[in-house]
Structure 1
């Protein structure tokens, strides 16, 4: 019981931490692998999208997770691969926050999506994160290493969030999932407001 509550509190803390302070955080002083590994975790918009997708998949059920998590992984790979054809930096930011808003608002409203729709959202969300997390290195081996780490990290975060939400079996846990969805929705709206107003306000 205590372990279950602790796991839920930890998951909620991670979800609530996804506030849109800035689009990217510096990764100076770390190697390419760790830069890729940390990127989906420390960049607020990427974490927002992955957490919202994981929340949606776990909320909808096991079958949605079964297809949605591989779709998220595939989207990450596809988005990162687009970096080799010179996609504009930050091209995925608006898209990934839009996907996050759709996923989080769906959970907040308590709407269950068809498996195919949830999987498509996961695929597009992963694609947007991959676009946003393109490695800066010019070396193909290093870019491949960084991208692999990003795919691994993003997939694991989405899987963990989905697994925690999927394990809910008490009323307070159901409420916590809805609250987390509302927090993520609010974070996405704040990010869009920040982009419209600008950093200088």
Structure 2
């Protein structure tokens, strides 16, 4: 009798598990049909591209090394540049920038970090917006006719906001630019990281020109 009850309970548990799995499948299909996948695709694609990882990270470090008063503007300017670049690429059918342009931009950002130049806020904003334009246009290459443009733009802008904010905040915590001079070992470490970024850009430029 006890075995019968145990078998009944096991069968009930299995049936409940199957029902839950079925409901999970329906929920997932509902999310896909709502095209939220375009949002996640736009947000994740830059994190899987070497140029975006290096450029976005270097820009965030540059913003953090200049202090919170200047760097916080990039939290707004850079995502706006991404949206503008994506929009221009769609409306004007612009081609993504060639690899040598990405390499030159990485080299330039690396040199700015390595030399610890105190860029004026207007120049820093132009650099961030120009970089956003370039990388927004590059990410437009992933669009297909079925893509929900509103969700794709929102995903790309959200990724830019999150990456710049997090990298800038971590750099501010590490670098302490408002209290420690650039000659402090923390400032030297940031400058050394800029040298590595510049080296990456130089290698990419050499490979692109050789190709």
Q: TM bucket by the smaller chain?
A: 0.7 to 0.9
Q: Give the alignment's Cα RMSD to 1 decimal.
A: 2.1
Q: Deviations over 1:145-166 (max 9, x none)?
A: 1221111112211221111112
**1:181: which partner in 2?**
194
Instruction: Give me the whole-angstrom Cα distance separating, in 1, the residues matched to 2:73 and 2:103.
Output: 22
Q: Does 1:191 align with 2:198?
A: no
**1:143: which partner in 2?**
149
| Contact persistence 1:50–1:126 (CA under 8 A) | no
Instruction: Give me the whole-angstrom Cα distance separating, in 2, the residues matched to 1:136 and 1:84.
Output: 9
Q: TM-score, normalised by structure 1?
A: 0.75
1:101 to 97, 100, 107: 107
| Contact persistence 1:101–1:188 (CA under 8 A) | yes
Aligned residues: 168
Residue correspondence of structure 1 range 1-201 to structure 2 within 5 A: 31-91=37-97, 93-134=99-140, 135-139=142-146, 142-167=148-173, 168-169=175-176, 171-198=184-211
Name which of structure 1's ranges 85-94 and 71-80 shifts more when overlaid on structure 2.
Answer: 85-94
Relative to structure 1, the CA distance from residue 71 to residue 92 in structure 2 (aligned partners, 3 Å threshold; closer, same or farther) is: farther
Structure 2 alignment gaps of length 5 or more: 1-35
**What secondary structure, in the 3-state scheme, does the structure 1 residue paired with 2:96 have?**
coil
